[in-house]
Structure 1
Amino acid sequence: MPYSTPRLKQLIAQGEGDIAFYLDDSEPRLPFSVERGLNFANSAQVKDLYDHQEWIARQIVPNQESDDEYIVKHAQRRGVIRKPASAAFGLVTMAVSSGTTIKAGQRFQRGDGVIFKTKEEHTAESDSISFEVKADSTGQVTNTEAKVELTPASTIIGATGNAVVEDEGLRGGADIEPILDLLYRLQLKMRNPPQGGATFDYESWALEVPGVTRAWAENGWQGRGTVGLTFVNDNEDDIIPSQPQLDAVEAYCIEHEDPATGDRVGAPAGPELVMYTLTLKPLTPNIHLVPDSADTRSAVTTSLKTLEVRSASPGGKLLISDIRQAIKTAAGVRDYTCSLNSDQTSTKDELLTFGDITWV
């Protein structure tokens, strides 16, 4: 039988019984007796002790009920360091005269004031030049869509007009790692201790890169001696990574400084790491809700997205029973109909995602 922490009312009743049993002629139930006052104070103190014990129990093994600071401490003790906020980066193009030099550290400003800087010096060999910039600040707000213009903060001799963000956009900007993402990485490491090149080692390394939220590795991706690695960024509008993001994760997995120890670690010699991107396979169900309102639609959309993040994987399957449960258990939904009536599957280079829902 599971242990149940007594409530304050039960502790008071127990105290009254003890006083009446051990102290002759006492009146612990009288409204204004000394015994009643002492019993109330003692019962409240005992209840505080029980509550503190419950709090301690929630901190011993890190879980979703643990306090944030203790999840961070548990993670640090096991070498899982919370990812800091990161800055967006990517390629921009600018119309210039041949021979024009873009100096390292050249500043460009977005319309809302966000500053970007060049990483290296570049010299144009034609009337157009492409170069990489990185945000001077951090956070998801630094991500920038394609075709957005960045204005030079100082004159660039030989340049005409502004720098224009290329098709993949400036991406990789992320806020400080959410505590539940840190808990997931901590639990992943506790269940899969590092083994110097197992598939889950590659997944763990990828997840250490700011912005990466889910990662998958597979042995023999292109035959013996190869390891395929892919990932997504769920906090960005386009969850499929850009080429600069793929390059950054690849470089990190090959060799990086361990966040906890500072030692150089990474992929072992021998296996070839192959980075690849997934193709999204959108599910576009027709759903009728009872009651049908903006709140229930939002709740169902959120519930299906949670299911996608928790259960979808390359070459995986979303069970129809899980989809139905996600809709039925969304806040406010009493009944529903859904056009999906079977398990949804994907190939090994596809990822299931819920696209536009048609509300019937």
Structure 2
Amino acid sequence: MSDFERPPLTSLITQAQDDINGRLPGADSRLRRSVLGVFAKVWAGLIHGVYGFLAWLAQQLLPDTATGEWLARWASIWGLTRKAATSAAGAITVSGTITSVVPAGTQLQRSDGALFVTGAEVTLAGVTAVVQVTAVVAGAGGITTTGSSLTFVSPVAGVSSSATVNTPGIAAGTDEESDEALRGRLLARIRNPPQGGSKADYEAWALEVAGVTRAWVYPRHSGAGTVGLTFVMDGREDIIPTEDDIAAVVAHVEALMPVTPELLCFAPIPDAIAMTIALTPNTDPVKAAVLAQLEDLFSREAIPAGTISLNKINEAISLAEGETDHTLTIPAAPVVSATGHIARLGTVTWA
């Protein structure tokens, strides 16, 4: 943080009043309806705004506190760019009469107004057909669960007005990279300069792919000349990457890595950790607060081949708003993940 401190408005008003009184003998700018008092407050307000700008500017002058466009500019100096938002995509099932056509670029909408557009033109060979769609607006807001209903914005001849989202849903949409995430990558880049294929390099390359939030690298994973790489996508409900995600990371990393190593990229295996908690007070709001704290704990502490201590689990429960006491009976020992596995919060039983 910067050492620059913005003076409070009241102090600036007092200072302005003192300056006026000192330069105009006999004047009293503190009188209730004094014109000089109005001047003092106006000037103090203007200077307070200038100090506000200086306080903001002081944050932008260093990469660890910069925000927005300033942070993006700092990142560009080290060759990093903010990861753009990506559009969610998936398949839907439409129904209608045989030989009916769903043209490319046809729009559908969700009940909340979110728009989706069809890909290639599809002709119904039967009473139903599968159509690929992509969210019009990039970002996680386009993610739509399996079984959800979409409605055609304009009628399509011979086709039912509604369609159903197929498994695994309209997925993979990601928001634009946040300042916090970009700053983390920038500081890691500054602290770990590229070394032609070091462990830190592989992690940095993986994190450059949209949606990837954490990555782990294992030199000599399957013997000499191999590099193991696994990662997660914390911005999704299911953080475990899909085959398409793995393919995207492999394509990106292989374009940057040395030609000699063999890259072995894989999804970590999730291990659901069941818990039994006796909670006081045992109310729904407190339970929800506990679950939120535990989810946050696992998102921060769970790593492949890592350990989460019971102390940290108990601490997370204690931090929940409204919790006054609790007893954790399961798990009874620290949560230890095997190589290639990552712990996830499982079913919580309230004793």
- Which range moves more in the overlay, 243-252 or 134-143? 134-143
Q: CA shift at 1:230, angstroms?
A: 0.7
Q: How far does the alpha carbon of each residue in 1:320-340 deviate from its partner, in whole angstroms, 9 at most, with x for none?
A: 343333333334444444335
2: distance between equivalents of 1:154 and 1:201?
54
Is 1:275 matched with 2:265? Answer: yes
Residue 199 of structure 1 aligns with which residue?
199
- TM-score, normalization: structure 1? 0.71
Q: Is the Cα–Cα contact under 8 Å of residues 149 and 165 in structure 1 kept in the other structure?
A: no
d(CA) in 2 for partners of 1:288 and 1:184? 37
Q: Secondary structure at the match of 2:347?
A: coil
- What stretches of structure 1 of length at least 5 have no aligned partner? 93-104, 119-130, 156-161, 256-265
Tell me by how many angstroms 1:278 deviates: 1.4
Q: Give the Cα separation in 1 of the matches to 2:42 and 2:108.
A: 62
Counterpart of 1:60? 61
Deviation at 1:315, TM superposition (A): 1.5
Aligned to 1:211: 211
Alpha-carbon distance change, 200 to 171 in structure 1, aligned in 2, over 3 angstroms: farther
Residues 280, 325 of structure 2: 8 Å contact kept? yes
Cα distance in 2 between the residues matched to 1:291 and 1:32: 57
Q: Which residue of 1 aligns with 2:26?
A: 25
CA contact (8 A) 1:90 1:244 kept: no
1:295 to 258, 271, 285: 285
CA–CA separation in structure 2 for the residues paired with 1:274 and 1:254: 11
Aligned-residue Cα RMSD (Å) equals 4.0
- 1:308 maps to which residue? 298
On the 8 A contact 1:86/1:174 being kept in 2, the answer is: yes
The yes-or-no answer on 1:324 pairing with 2:307 is no
Name the structure 2 match of 1:123. none
Matches within 5 A, 1:127-146: 135=134, 138-140=138-140
Percent of matched pairs sharing the same residue: 32
Cα contact 2:281–2:322 (8 A) shared by 1: yes
What's the CA shift for 1:254? 0.7
Q: Distance in 1 between matches of 2:301 and 2:147?
A: 34
2:40 is the alignment partner of 1:39: yes
Aligned length: 317
Deviation of 1:74 (Å): 2.8
CA separation of 1:116/1:351 partners in 2, compared to 1, >3 Å: closer, same or farther?
Answer: farther
Shift in Å, 1:222: 0.9
Deviates more, 1:325-334 or 1:274-283: 325-334
Code of the residue aligned with 2:58 in structure 1: it is: A
Shift of 1:294: 3.6
CA separation of 1:169/1:217 partners in 2, compared to 1, >3 Å: closer, same or farther? Answer: farther
Determine if the alignment matches structure 1 residue 346 to structure 2 residue 347: no
Q: In the aligned structure 2, how far is the partner of 1:288 from the partner of 1:6?
A: 49
Matches of 2:222 and 2:177 in 1, distance apart? 33
1:186 is aligned to 2:193: no
Structure-2 separation of matches of 1:7 and 1:358: 51
Q: Please state how far the C-alpha of 1:238 moved relative to its aligned partner.
A: 2.7
TM-score under structure 2 length normalisation: 0.73
- Distance in 2 of aligned mates of 1:199 and 1:116: 41
* Residue 347 of structure 2 corresponds to residue 359 of structure 1: no
The 3 A distance-change label for structure 1 pair 86 and 18 is closer
Q: Which amino acid aligns with 2:274?
A: T
Unaligned residue ranges in structure 2 (runs of 5+) = 93-102, 121-129, 151-155
Q: Give the deviation of 1:296 after TM superposition.
A: 3.2
Q: 1:41 to 1:86 in 2, by over 3 A?
A: closer
The residue matched to 2:263 in structure 1 has which SS? strand
The alpha-carbon distance between structure 1 residues 59 and 141, as it changes in their structure 2 partners (threshold 3 A), is closer
Shift, 1:56, TM fit: 0.9
Structure-1 separation of matches of 2:20 and 2:144: 71
Deviates more, 1:34-43 or 1:344-353: 34-43
Rounded to whole Å, the distance in 2 between the matches of 1:35 and 1:146 is 68
